Amino acid sequence: MKWNATTHLLLVLCGFLVALLPRFIPLSFFRNRRIPTWFNEWMKYVPIALFTSLVVKDIVITKNYTFSVSGKLPDLIASAIVLGIAYWTRSMALSVIGGLIAIFALSFFV
């Protein structure tokens, strides 16, 4: 399938559906019912597992899906800086801006 404006529009509409269903169904279903405990307990660990995998993919997995850390020192240092900023400030904006400044500066010097 070729990417063009039409397929991009289709992607946005399908994206709308997969974004809406997990937001709407539990919200609507559990308005007047009890949430099953097992569901909550399992869901508790989904975000951390997913976000970690995504960061791993961004930093140490290459486009051809091999593991490599060569040339990734700026990313690793910048990631540590972002985690530090996030821990101390709990601010999303400061974490992202700090991360961008760090990666720009580090890719210049390292």
Partner 1 sequence: MSKRMLNDNYPMWLKDLRVSMPLNLSYIPIGTACGILLHAAGFNHLLTILVSILVFSGGAQFLIASMLLISSPFYSVILMLFFLELRYALLGSSLSKYLQGQSDRFTFFFAVSLNDENYAINYLKFSTDKKWTPKDALNVEHYSVLFWTISNLIGSFIGSALKIDLSLVNFALTALFLYMIMMQLKSMMKLLICVISIGLSIVFMVLMKSTLGLIISTVISSLIGFALENYLRNRHPKSNALKTFKNPAGTPKEN
Place of tokens 């500066």: 105
Closer residue to partner 1, CB minimum distance, 4 or 70: 4
66, 45 in Cβ contact below 8 A? no
Nearer to partner 1, 29 or 73 (CB): 29
Q: In whole angstroms, how close is the CB of 38 to partner 1 at the nearest point?
A: 8
The one-letter amino acid code at 45 reads Y
In the complex, least distance from residue 45 CB atom to partner 1, rounded to whole angstroms: 3
Least separation in angstroms between residue 78's CB and partner 1 is 7
Q: Closest by alpha carbon to 76, among 88, 65, 64, 68?
A: 68
The residue among 3 and 109 lying less far from partner 1, judged by its C-beta, is 3
Q: How far is the CB of 57 from partner 1 (least distance, A)?
A: 6
**Measured CA distances, 67 to 52, 58, 63, 102 (Å):** 15, 11, 10, 24
Residue closer to partner 1, measured from CB, 61 or 73: 61
